[in-house]
Amino acid sequence: MLRYFQAAASLQTHLRTVLNGQEVQSTPVSDLAFSIPEIIAYVSKVTELLPGDIIATGTPGGVGRFRTPPLSVKAGDGIEVEITGIGTLSNTIADEPAA
């Protein structure tokens, strides 16, 4: 797996976020503070990684609250996060259950 990411890093791997069909974030993976191999190596020291695990790393530029006007997600919104050559994670935003 690590070799795959090292090979992908040499390509123009891109991270993209789409909210309700509109691209709201787009950046090369090379702009991340740490490379994907470094992130995987660090996380795997703390916990065993299994197929299907997701590592949440934070967000690139384009964060909604810093937009004019601010952009927030709401229940029912569809969001997709894609990394070129790796895949796309798609979710629908849901309300938090009442306490």
Q: Is residue 78 part of a domain?
A: yes
Q: Angle of helix 36-46 relative to helix 2-10, nearest 10 degrees?
A: 160
Q: Considering the entire predicted model, what is its pTM?
A: 0.74
Q: Is residue 21 part of a domain?
A: yes
Find, among 84, 73, 85, the residue nearest to 19 by Cα.
73
Q: Is residue 12 part of a domain?
A: yes
- What is the rounded distance in angstroms from the CA atom of residue 24 to the CA atom of residue 43? 27
Q: Is residue 48 part of a domain?
A: yes
Contact 48, 58 (CB under 8 A): no
Q: Which domain holds residue 63?
A: 2-92
CATH number at residue 57: 3.90.850.10
User: What mean pLDDT comes out for the span 91-95?
Assistant: 94
Q: Is residue 15 part of a domain?
A: yes
Q: How many structural domains compose the chain?
A: 1
Note the pLDDT tens digit of each residue in 33-66.
888 788 889 999 999 999 888 888 877 766 677 7
The whole-number pLDDT of residue 91 equals 94
User: What mean pLDDT comes out for the span 81-86?
Assistant: 84
